[in-house]
Copies of this chain bind each other. A is one copy, B any other.
Amino acid sequence: MENYNPTDRTRVRRLPKRAAYDKQKVHSILDEGFLCHVGFVADGQPYVIPTLYARGGDRIYIHGSAASRMLRTLDEGVDVCLTVTLVDGFVLARSAFHHSMNYRSVVVLGKARLVTDSAEKMEAMHRFTNHMVPGRWEEVRQPTEQELKATSVLALELHEVSAKIRTGSPLDDEEDYSLPVWAGVVPVRTTLGEPLPDERVLPAVKVFDVHRLANRH
Binding site for B on A (CB under 8 A): 9, 13-14, 34-35, 37-41, 44-50, 52, 65-66, 68-69, 79-83, 85, 87, 89-90, 92-97, 99, 101, 103, 105, 107, 109, 125-126, 128-129, 132-133, 136-137, 139-144, 147, 150-151, 169-170, 172, 176-202, 204-208, 210, 213
- Given known pairs A46-B79, A52-B101, A187-B193, the reply for A141 and B200 (CB within 8 Å) is no
Known: A45-B109, A99-B129, A99-B136. 19 other contacts (CB 8 A): A9-B45, A38-B48, A41-B44, A45-B81, A90-B213, A92-B132, A95-B142, A96-B136, A96-B140, A97-B143, A99-B132, A140-B181, A172-B200, A179-B202, A183-B198, A185-B196, A186-B208, A187-B196, A188-B191
Closest to A217 in B: B188
Q: Which of B9, B97, B176 contacts A125 (CB 8 A)?
A: B97
Beta-carbon contact of A183 and B201 below 8 Å: yes
Give the distance in Å from the alpha carbon of A95 to the alpha carbon of B87 in the complex.
Answer: 31
| CA–CA, A184 and B196, complex, Å | 5
Contact in complex: B170, A198 (CB < 8 Å): yes
Q: Across the interface, which residues of B come within 8 angstroms of A197, CB to CB?
A: 182-184
- In the complex this chain forms, how many copies of it are found? 2
Q: Are A180 and B208 in contact (CB under 8 A)?
A: no
On whether the beta carbons of B14 and A65 are closer than 8 Å, the reply is yes
Interface of A is mostly: mixed
The answer to whether A201 touches B182, judged by C-beta atoms less than 8 angstroms apart, is yes
CB-CB under 8 A from A151, the residues of chain B are 97
Note all chain B residues with C-beta closer than 8 A to A139: 181
A129 contact set on B, CB distance < 8 A = 96, 99
Are B45 and A79 in contact, CB atoms less than 8 angstroms apart? yes
Q: Which residues of B contact A186 (CB under 8 A)?
A: 133, 192-193, 195-196, 208, 210, 213
* A67 to B: closest C-beta gap in Å: 9
Taking a contact as CB atoms under 8 Å apart, the answer to whether A46 and B35 are in contact is: no
Q: Which residue of B lies closest to A95 (CB)?
A: B141
Shortest Cβ gap from A215 to chain B (Å): 14
Given A35-B101, A68-B13, A186-B210, residue A180 in contact with residue B202 (CB < 8 A): yes
